[in-house]
Structures are given as structure tokens and as C-alpha cells.
A and B are shown apart, each in its own frame.
Chain A
Amino acid sequence: MEVELSKDEQIEKLLEDLRTSNIKKDDWEFHDADRSIYSTGIGLNRQVVEEISEIKKEPDWMRRFRLKALEIFLKKPVPTWGPDLSGIDWDNTHYYTRPDEIKARNWEDVPDDIKNTFQKLGVPEMEQKYLAGSVAQYDSEGVYHNLKKVWEDKGVVFMDLDSALKQHPDLVKNYFCKAVPATDNKFAALNAAVWSGGSFLYVPKGVQIDMPLQTYFRMNGEATGQFEHTIVVADEGSKVHYIEGCTAPRYNTDSLHSAIVEIYVQKNAQARYTSVQNWSKSVYNMPTKRAWVEENAQMEWVGGSLGSKVTMLYPSSYLRGPYASTHNLNISLAGPGTVKDTGAKAIHLAPHTSSRIVAKSISIEDGKAIYRGLLRMNKGAINSKSHVQCDALLINDESTSFTYPHDEIYEPTATFGHEATVGRIGTEELTYLRSRGLSEEEASSMIVLGFMDDVMKEIPMEFAVEMNRLVKLEMSKMGAVG
């Protein structure tokens, strides 16, 4: 008898398969031998930036742009208003590391060890099953990119940004660092100076892609930085779903990830950006992500922030045209010893714009989850609406969560609302599940996963399975809850 399975049953089934299969799936924290053949060495100065630009044989405007960004970076202080960043060892970080020069269009052409890594992470399989296109990045460089022919024929461009800069220089120049200028913050300036890799996705007018496109970022080297720069352009009336997955092995020395993501959603277009990061606990994750949303366009941010030592991430939507809207759904898991300073920004610049932000967090042991948000409604953003909801789940007594919403409302006809809840796993729920035979640990993971369910529903199956597995792992490491 064939029974159609709902998504969580499919997830359950995948997990069951995983448990019974012989392939032992480790944490995503395994690492390959160091296979970088070139690195600019440790530390950052003009010489390093020149060298990166030289290796990439970039147009001169980019080289000059990088050097200017470097000056901005050097001038800007490390932000002190958030989590402690004193652990970032600027002088001992490798700012550019690349494996052999590989720009494969075929998995067969990717060297075995790198291919194996991506296979372990399930990347080629996901591509085959449900992606319209895929890019894979290893340390500083994209090593693989592919786009299904139907979409290529319709004029869609999807490749790593370095390749795009060579093949579509004008298109890239048009959008590069427009939504996120180098002056935005210290980490954006750093990215603008030393960026390497990332994706470029251009969807022409009226083209609606029904399958997602994905980039997978893998850091392998120790004490490295990954500074990818991603640009997504959804031209008028188009529709696109772009997904990012990120992982890294765990080392004793910390690594730095500082990306820029710029999304341009033109008139009547719809864009969805999903990212699931499971960086290891030796990574500082400091990306700047921003969307420009034009008239009657829709932007959706879906995020799962699972790993890293410290994450500071506030995806922003600038609602620039009338009836532009944004929806932001994020879940942050602050595991033992980690800090998640995450949130969202919605900037209403035009009439009838709307934003909806749902932020969930889970803190385990001494994990600290912070919601930091900015809602701005400019004068003239008449009849604009916003709703912000923050729900925090604290697992242990020493777990903490904080909420810092910041509102700047200059338009009298605008309406907005905030809701915030902080909860713990309730004795009644726990007892109820246990009275049906579930162990305390199983019952707790089930409650935590239930809390995350809104997000799980929205993310691709493989990532949902991974999130599911991760929560169970964290809960089992903890032993008794309380």
C-alpha cells in the first residue's frame, strides 16, 4: 500500500535510513588533508590584496576598489556593541587560500578528495534530485558550477563570482557592492578588499525558475578566512529560490567567515534566499546580507543558524518601491559555549510596504541567543505595516536569551507590532511525551524540533534532516535536561 508521506515523515524516514545504513555520518566537522597549493600567507596588507587581484587577473577597477576597501577596513574599529570579538586573530588568519586551479562543470573533473567531501555532504545528490543549478566552493575558490540547460537557454546566469566577473563583467559591475557598500561596516569592508568566490545569479525578466539553485561553501583549511561575495539579481517579474549551505571542520585555531550577500529584487519579482550554516565551533561568522526590494516585489529570507562560535547576522530588506514586501524567518541554535547575535532589519522607504519577521532561538547550556532588530519606517512610507515576533526557548538554567528590537518610526500612518516569548521545556509536555514511552532525551528533542517546525517546513529536506540530527545530537550530549 502506497502512503504519501508528509515532509516530517520523510525526514523521519531519511533519519531512519541514515541510522540503519552502514555509512557512518559524522559531524560535518571532518576535514581533508591540507591541499591548498597557494596561500597569501598570514596577515593582511596592501601586498596581500594586490596579490589576490593579480592571481585573479581582474579588471583594474576591481583592484582599485579592493585597495580602497582595505583602507576603510583598516580605519574602522572592531564593533564592540555586540558579542566579544577579541578572539579574532587578524594577524594570523590566511586571507586567501586556494586548492589547485579547478573550475569544473562536471563532478568527474573535480579532484577525488574534494569530490568526496562534497559527496559526504550530499551535494551532488541534492543537485541531481531537485536543483536547477549548483555551485560548490572549497576554501577561497569555486571549484564546480553547473546550471541545467533549460535555464541557461533562457538566459539565466549562475556561476561563481570570479567566473562571472570574467564572463559578464558589465553585469557584475552594475551590482557589485551597490546594496552593501564597503563603508557599511568593518566586515563588509574586509570582504570588499579580499573577496573571493561566492555566486553570481542573474534571472532575466519574466523567467520563473521552479527549482532552487544552490551554492555550497566548504572551508577546509585551518585558521583561514572565507570571504565569498554573492550577488542575486531577480529581474522584473522573475522568480527564484537560492539556497546556501555552509560547513567547516573544527580546529583549535579559529577561522573567520565574512561574506557579503546582495540581492536585487526588481519590480514584480519574487526572490527567496535560504541559508543553513553549520560552521564548526571554531568559526567567527560575520556576514552582511542585504536585499533591495523594488515595487511590488517580494523578498523572503529563510535562515538556519546552527553552528559557529560567534555569529552576527541581520539580513536586511530595503523596501524601495510601493507594495514591496519582505518576510524573514530565522532560527538560531546557540549551542554550548556559543553566541548567536542574529536578527533582521526592515527599512520601509516607500508607501504600502510590509515586513514580517519571525525569529526563533534555542539556547543550550551556556549558549547565548540574542535577537537584535531594526525596523525603520521613513516619512512617506504611508500605510506601511510591520510585524516582529521573537520566540526563545531556553534548555538549561544557565541558558540565556536577550531581545533588542530597535524601532525608528517617522511615518504616522504606519503600523507595527512586536511579540516576544521566552519559554522553557515544560514539565507537562515532557511528562506527556514520556508517558508514551519516550525517554527524557527523546521527548526534549521532540519538543525542541517542534519549536523549530515553522522553519523546518521551509527548508530543503537534506538541511531539515541535518538540523533534526544536530538537535538530537546536542540534546543527547547534554544528558538530563534541567
Chain B
Amino acid sequence: MHRVVVSESMSELIIKDLRASVADKEILKGVNLTVKGGEIHALMGPNGAGKSTLGNVLMGHPNYTITGGSIKLDGKELTNRTPEERARAGLFLAFQNPVSVTGVKLSSFLRTAYKQLHPEEKVPLSEFQARIKDHLKKVGLDEEFLSRSVNDGFSGGERKRVEILQMVILKPKIVVLDEIDSGLDVDALKLVADEIRDYYSQEVGFLIITHYQRILKNIDPEFVHILMNGKITMNGEKSLALKIEDEGYDWIRSE
């Protein structure tokens, strides 16, 4: 079992008045949000509100254009940076729909990525493999996933587990999870939530995107934000998530 302190000092992701468009359509219309190490934020909102867009924009997906505002991680300006530069700064996105990459083995992919993210560390191959196997087990996946192609032929739930596996192995400072609970059955969700909680205990900051609050039964968010029409329209605590479970989003719209 390895336990590593992810960062010495508390990290901080600051999103300021972020505006972004996709296919010439403005989706984010001024988002403000700060996520610090050791905090769990939930971002909720109806379908099509722009939650995944925010995740993709944070990660620097080339299909999305930032039209205003800024993204900073630990004082480092990321707004116009490439995805790899953002990853190297400590940002991680678990995608809503992770793509498959034919012929690219999970283990060699993770090893290559790790070397980029932590160039100063020299982890022997065998130890690295052992870490992956350990965490595969924790998310309830067979060792054989190590030598399978990334997400190739994986079920939706398997993809989600592998996203979490990647998170733990790659050791980011700020994590964005986009609908991590979709496709997971109750048992799998519990395993995944355990891994998230375990990783959170290392002073990592989380932004958990979800359109309903199933995962929030397993993980307690300190802060809950509602994204609607491209803006954060309401901030609250866990009780806000519970209210949405009961009443939906309509009451916010009318406020």
C-alpha cells in the first residue's frame, strides 16, 4: 500500500468569470468558483446546463473556446495552456464519457503519463505495476485490465472505475469528476466512493459534477453549487443537494 502526500502546500483552483463557447454557441457565461485542497464541492444542474462543458474547458479540450475570464491553479495561469500543461500543473478530469484508445495498454499508458507528471520520481516498473494491481483490486477490477487497451470494449461502469484508478495512480492535486456515478451499480459505487474518500484524505480538492445526488450519499460535499444557463446561480451546503433531490431544479429557475 502506498501513501504519498500529494502536495506540500494546500492547492487552490480559482475559476474567474469564465466564459466559453462550443460550435459557436456560448455555453459558459461567467462562472466563478474556487476549489481548495481538502475541500469537496458538488456541482449540480439540469441536463445541458454546461457542467461537462466546464469540465472540458478546465482541461483544455480543443473543441471548446474560452472567450473570457481565467483559470488558475496554485497561482499558475492555465487559461491558454494545453491539456498536458494543465495535467502537469496537477489537474485531473474524470471524463463523463471516456473514449477508448485501441492498442494502447493501460499499464504502459499510465507509466508514460506518470513519468510526465512526476519526472523527479523514479519508480521501478515492478513497483509501479504492483500499485496499479493494488488499486485495480480496490475498484473491483481484475488484474487482466492492466494489459488491456485503454477503455477498449469496457462497459460504462468499467470505464468509470478505470478513471478513478487513473486518478489514484497519477496523483493530481485538484480532481474534477464528471458524472462518475453513472453506470455504476450500488456495490461498484461504494468501492469507487471509498477510493475517492481515501484519496481526498490526502488534502486533494474535488469538484464532483453530478445531475442527481446519488454519489453524494457516499461522499459528503462541504459546498454545493447549482449551474444553470451557464452560470452558478446558487451556492449552498449539503442540504441544497437534498432539496434538489426532492424538488428538482424548477424552484431555482423561478427564484
Contact = CB atoms under 8 A, between A and B. Distances in A.
A429 B100 CA distance: 7
Interface string A137-164: 0000000000000000000000000000
A451 B102 contact: yes
Interface of B: 59-63, 82-84, 86-88, 92-93, 95, 98-99, 101-105, 107-114, 116-117, 125-127, 129-130, 146-147, 149-150, 166, 170
A6 B113 CA distance: 18
Contact of A8 (B62, B99, B105): B105
B108 A438 contact: no
Interface stretch (A84-92, A180-188, A440-448): A440-448
A453 interface: yes
Interface string A314-344: 0000000000000000000000000000000
Interface in A442-475: 442, 446-447, 449-454
Interface of A: 1-3, 5-6, 8-9, 12-13, 426-429, 431-440, 442, 446-447, 449-454
Given A432-B101, A437-B113, A438-B84, A1 B107 contact: no
A438 B116 CA distance: 7
A3 B125 contact: yes
Nearest to B119: A437
A452 B102 CA distance: 9
Given A3-B129, A437-B117, A450-B149, 12 more contacts: A9-B125, A12-B111, A427-B63, A431-B61, A433-B104, A436-B110, A436-B117, A442-B116, A447-B104, A449-B104, A451-B102, A453-B102
A165 B235 CA distance: 88
Given A429-B99, A431-B62, A436 B87 contact: yes
A437 B81 CA distance: 12
For the residues of B in contact with A, the DSSP-based class is helix
A335 to B, nearest CB: 20
Contacts of A450: 101-104, 149
Contacts of A438: 84, 112-113, 116
List 9 A-B pairs, minimum CB-CB distance, nearest first. Answer: A450-B103, A453-B103, A437-B116, A434-B83, A450-B104, A437-B87, A436-B113, A3-B126, A437-B117
16 contacts: A3-B129, A5-B129, A9-B105, A9-B129, A12-B111, A426-B99, A431-B61, A432-B99, A435-B59, A436-B117, A437-B170, A438-B84, A447-B104, A449-B104, A450-B101, A450-B103
A464 to B, nearest CB: 13
B105 A447 contact: no
Contact of A434 (B63, B87, B107, B166): B87
A168 to B, nearest CB: 43
A426 B125 CA distance: 29
B82 A440 contact: yes
Nearest to B86: A435
Contact of B105 (A1, A2, A3, A6): A6
B102 A436 contact: no
A431 B86 CA distance: 12
B126 A431 contact: no
Contacts of A429: 99, 101
Contacts of B147: 6, 8
B113 A9 contact: no
